[in-house]
């Protein structure tokens, strides 16, 4: 099977991330071609890759395209080279030698799954990655935590509604049906939207507990995308773009207009400022949000295949 691993790089020199990530793939028991997509790093990442990994395909973007946009570049290049599988791996993550082999073998035997992800451990391998732990809660994954807590035998695979794109094995068939990542989501939310579109197309998503990756988040700095206003805006965009249960934009606008009125009556200046900003965002982008829902329902591929 023709497997391409796609790594989005953005200032990846911290904690030897690039070296750990690339070396783990190069020593994997399943052979993979590697495509690194640099998102306009300024910490020497590009020079490091060129010097130490000259055989790896390096795509240099002149601007930061975000996680989804950069992955779309890598996926497009891999498709043109005949890829059958795409392994999307974060720059701050690395695999065990058998991880790719386990994922590929299971995927070949269970083609209904468009994405299979391994178990995500933290960088020390001493616990579950925080985001992964939320994904495998009973809200998204029915049995895993119960099986783990009660020491039951773990299933071969656990169907799941969402899992972050830190380590996705994606089939070509899934890409052909779902497309790439929506450019509407610059940072965070792109994987949620992709999972929504997969569900709409009735394509399976699951994680394989026997396969593992390590994801080092401990020194990751907080950024504006984690702030409350940005988080709520992103949630509004996700809700409005979800083809499985879309929310009418005008209803959202009405809800936030009521919140603004309530905040004024309660003299709550902090909440008033936040809700006014979100209300303004919804009004300004109502047409875009409506259009994005239609694109999520259609077969828009978002890839660079011309």
DSSP string, 155-190: PS-EE-S---TTEEEEEHHHHHHH-S--TT-SSSSH
| Cβ(91)–Cβ(8) below 8 Å | yes
Angle at 121 between CA 116 and CA 124, to 5 degrees: 150
* Confidence (pLDDT) at 305: 78
pLDDT at 286 > cutoff 90: no
Distances (CA, A) of 75 to 16, 228, 250: 25, 32, 36
How far apart, in Å, do the first and last CA atoms of the chain sit?
A: 25
> Measuring CA to CA, which residue among 180, 171, 193 is closest to residue 76?
180
Domain spans, the chain: 3-215, 224-297
* Confidence (pLDDT) at 217: 85
* Confidence (pLDDT) at 222: 59
Pairwise CA distance, residues 171 & 108, whole Å = 10
Bridge partners of 100, per DSSP, are: none
Q: What's the predicted TM-score (pTM) here?
A: 0.92
> Measuring CA to CA, which residue among 250, 233, 234, 245 is closest to residue 290?
250
pLDDT at 170 > cutoff 80: yes
In terms of CATH architecture, what is 3-215?
A: Alpha-Beta Complex (3.90)
Pairwise CA distance, residues 149 & 152, whole Å = 8
The overall average pLDDT reported for the chain is 92
The number of residues making up the chain comes to: 306
Question: Residue 174: which residues within 8 A CB-CB, separation 6 or more?
Answer: 114, 115, 198, 203
pLDDT at 206 > cutoff 90: yes
Is residue 285 classed as helix, strand or coil in its secondary structure? coil
Grade residue 77 by pLDDT with cuts at 50, 70 and 90: very high
Pairwise CA distance, residues 261 & 258, whole Å = 5
* Confidence (pLDDT) at 229: 83
* Confidence (pLDDT) at 294: 84
* Confidence (pLDDT) at 225: 54
Top mean-pLDDT range of 99-108, 129-138, 242-251: 99-108
Grade residue 223 by pLDDT with cuts at 50, 70 and 90: low
* Confidence (pLDDT) at 19: 97
């Amino acid at each position: 099977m023709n497997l391409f691993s796609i790594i989005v790089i953005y200032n990846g020199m911290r904690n030897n991330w690039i070296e750990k990530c690339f070396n783990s793939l190069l020593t994997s028991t399943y052979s993979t071609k590697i495509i690194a997509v640099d998102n306009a790093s300024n910490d020497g990442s590009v020079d490091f890759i060129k010097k130490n990994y000259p055989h790896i395909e390096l795509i240099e973007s002149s601007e930061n395209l975000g996680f989804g946009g950069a992955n779309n570049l890598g996926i497009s290049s891999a498709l043109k080279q005949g890829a059958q599988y795409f392994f999307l791996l974060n720059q701050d993550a690395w695999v065990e030698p058998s991880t790719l082999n386990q994922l590929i073998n299971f995927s070949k035997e269970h083609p209904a799954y468009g994405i299979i992800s391994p178990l995500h451990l933290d960088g020390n391998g001493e616990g579950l990655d925080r985001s992964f732990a939320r994904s495998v809660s009973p809200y998204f994954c029915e049995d895993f935590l119960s099986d783990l807590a009660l020491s039951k035998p773990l299933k071969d695979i656990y169907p799941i509604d969402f899992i972050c794109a830190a380590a996705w094995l994606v089939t070509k068939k899934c890409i052909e049906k779902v497309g790439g990542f929506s450019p509407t989501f610059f940072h965070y939310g792109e994987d949620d939207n992709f999972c929504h579109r997969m569900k709409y197309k009735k394509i399976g998503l699951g994680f394989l507990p026997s396969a593992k990756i390590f994801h080092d988040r401990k020194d990751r700095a907080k950024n504006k995308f984690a702030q409350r206003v940005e988080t709520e805006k992103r949630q509004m965009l996700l809700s409005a773009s979800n083809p499985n249960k879309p929310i009418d934009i005008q209803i959202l606008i009405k809800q936030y207009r009521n919140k603004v009125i309530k905040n004024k009556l309660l003299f709550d200046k902090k909440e008033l400022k936040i809700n006014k900003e979100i209300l303004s965002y919804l009004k300004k982008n109502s047409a875009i949000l409506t259009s994005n829902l239609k694109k999520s329902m259609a077969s828009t591929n978002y890839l660079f295949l011309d």
